[in-house]
A and B are shown apart, each in its own frame.
Chain A
């Protein structure tokens, strides 16, 4: 018996085919993971199956679910499935809850309006479910008073409240740290009952490994490989799958640290930082040396970015001293942002932006060309605007922009958390090269402890601060709770 079978799903944008005919089946109790890079068409495929494609795209093919057969082009027909047959999990749970409604009613309304319970019963059911997810107090809170992990659990409860047993999650771990990622995986598996279904769309190998079940690798809208998840990940058949796995930090070789330590660029002693009245960093001492890479890890919200701001001189520490090496220009400390798209002016061509920066730092414009070559970037990119360039290229352009300032220290704040594994490997590799060849001191922030272990010479791991425990506490609780 199959819960859902999709046959020959194709997605087109005008004449361009974004998803080639793809067929898939979902069986009760067995998760299916669709793995692929950004632009592989994995999200479009899922959206075509759910009937949530943007209006500008056209889908064809058939979807059989719960005894009825739907045509993918007939989007309106899918509406009746939402909440009742398919529970669609949003990418960003925080933004997916109505900011002006308390969490409890957002779950209860689906019980009442979709499943048809009376108002009081719906309220009780919602309260029970939230309590079972470890969210006893969350029902009366507004979304802005919830942590990201709590919002995710509220969203799961709300998505399933209508009675749907088939959960579809599109990139459920986007931008989450490792601990939260495992939490989400546990949550999804807990939601998978023996008769229910689970479809997970992701680029995250670790998530795929945790979810298990069956795996489908997608590239350029076509299926590259399918099979049992554990089998595909341990013995990939297709060359592309091998590349994808090789790009996972787990399989990187450890960077060899430069033998002699370079000059100290920055020293921080007994650093204590607070933001918004909350103590983030307490009595931290560290040293950055030319050519060395310092890894900074810690859970979301533990103060990694604030530490960066302090090192860059943008945040005054509450206590302690930060000493820069003598004779460094004020602009010798640069930052690489997490979201490269947000770090460039949207309406200007990239070439204009970079030439402006070069002029500001009195660098000859030819340096741009030289750096383009070193960072393996095509000079044709310069005539484009940020939105028309891939995330990996844009992050390398951001690195180029930082290099124009002749930096001695770069604070890289999760520079690859929004990039695909293959692109991530490339960008991190370039950063490490620059540290060696140009004698840069680099502080690399990542939520991936494995990546930090492979690349960095030293590691500074920030502890979780109080009040954040609620995001991690109950992976085990969850397994028993829902279902």
Chain B
């Protein structure tokens, strides 16, 4: 219960910070914001004073800032994110559309990283210091060190350009998922594997792990019944934190492979100074982070009852 309350407070704080930051951005856009926005909307060649004035009146760019701020935050808490400055469509509709695409990509990437990383990490953690453990350390460190945009480019060059196995970009078919999901998953799996490895090595060194074997259980039984359960808690907690890394990756990868997701939209909104869109996407990502972590807290408390009292 306390978990949910604290996460709710966190969600409120996120909303306040995002609202305030985007409001400040809106106010401090260099030059005449009305002209900029009008240019974004109609193209640089089509802007004139009348169009700028129309934008100014529409967005209330002239009023006193306190009133504007209160109105801004009021809109935010009514979940009225306004209208995209560029497309003129309601922000909420645009985000709803893009969020789905991103969500699927993110899920595919996390799923893939969980298939790759933790099993290898657990295997290494069972025999700390073995050749396999040391090899995994080198490989995972190297993979983690490759920036995600580079990873995506390498995969495109190898899998699409050289081998011609996969499309370099695109959206809509299952095979379009493979390349961006892999590009994201390799970086995530590199760290997953380390976390799982350290957790497993720690569990193996615990007296209860020995004792379970002395009771007569086989190695596999001990791993299955006592090892995995104890490894899952730190791994799960880390997964929540990894969400940040994931968002960062999604923003980059979506732009590279032309994925019509929320990250792609965020980048475009930033370039076009489409502040309502920036606010909407940033808020969604921030609240998503809080929600994922709240779910993970609940799950971890179910598995590990010690902290929950």
Contacts and interface: CB of A to CB of B under 8 A. Distances in A.
A28 interface: no
A110 B306 CA distance: 24
A95 B215 contact: no
21 contacts: A82-B214, A82-B216, A83-B214, A84-B216, A87-B214, A90-B207, A90-B211, A95-B208, A96-B208, A97-B208, A97-B211, A98-B212, A99-B230, A99-B304, A100-B230, A109-B221, A113-B221, A114-B215, A142-B305, A158-B215, A161-B215
A88 interface: yes
B230 A159 contact: no
A96 B230 contact: no
Given A90-B210, A95-B206, A100-B303, A114 B217 contact: yes
Interface string A67-85: 0000000000001001110
Interface in B198-233: 206-208, 210-218, 221, 225-226, 229-230, 233
Interface string B277-309: 000000000000000000000000001111000
A197 to B, nearest CB: 16
B207 A96 contact: yes
Given A82-B215, A100-B303, 9 more contacts: A50-B214, A90-B210, A96-B211, A98-B229, A100-B233, A109-B225, A114-B216, A142-B306, A144-B306
Nearest to A95: B207
Classify chain A's interface size.
Answer: 20 to 34
B303 A52 contact: no
Given A98-B226, A100-B303, A101-B226, A91 B215 contact: no
Interface of B: 206-208, 210-218, 221, 225-226, 229-230, 233, 303-306
Given A95-B206, A95-B208, A113-B221, A159 B214 contact: yes
Given A113-B221, A158-B215, A91 B306 contact: no
B306 A162 contact: no
Contacts of A91: 207
A343 B93 CA distance: 62
Contacts of B221: 109, 113
Given A100-B229, A100-B304, A113-B221, A52 B210 contact: yes
B229 A101 contact: yes
A113 B217 contact: yes
A76 B109 CA distance: 41
Contacts of A114: 215-217
A110 B229 contact: no
Contacts of B226: 98, 101
A288 interface: no
Interface string A103-125: 00000011001100000000000
Contacts of A110: 215-217
A155 B225 CA distance: 17
* Interface-central residue, A90, A100, A162, by most chain B CB under 10 Å: A100
A438 to B, nearest CB: 41
A98 B208 contact: yes
B217 A83 contact: yes
Which 8 pairs of residues, A with B, have the shortest CB-CB distance?
A83-B216, A114-B216, A88-B214, A162-B216, A96-B211, A95-B207, A110-B215, A96-B207
Nearest to A114: B216
A97 B211 CA distance: 8
Contacts of B210: 52, 90, 96
A92 interface: yes
Nearest to B307: A144
A372 B89 CA distance: 82
A373 to B, nearest CB: 40
Nearest to A110: B215
A52 B214 contact: yes
A292 B96 CA distance: 78
* Interface-central residue, B214, B217, B229, B233, by most chain A CB under 10 Å: B214
B217 A109 contact: yes
Contacts of B213: 79, 82
Contacts of B216: 82-84, 110, 113-114, 162, 164
A114 B213 CA distance: 11
Contacts of A96: 207-208, 210-211
Contacts of A95: 206-208
Contacts of A97: 208, 211
A159 B306 contact: no
A110 B303 CA distance: 21
B305 A159 contact: no
Given A95-B207, A100-B304, A159 B229 contact: no
Contacts of B207: 90-92, 95-96
Nearest to B303: A100
Contacts of A159: 211, 214-215
A374 to B, nearest CB: 39
Contacts of A155: 211
A42 B225 CA distance: 32
B216 to A, nearest CB: 2
B230 A98 contact: yes
A155 B206 CA distance: 15
A97 B206 CA distance: 10
* Interface-central residue, B206, B212, B215, by most chain A CB under 10 Å: B215
Nearest to B230: A100
A147 to B, nearest CB: 16
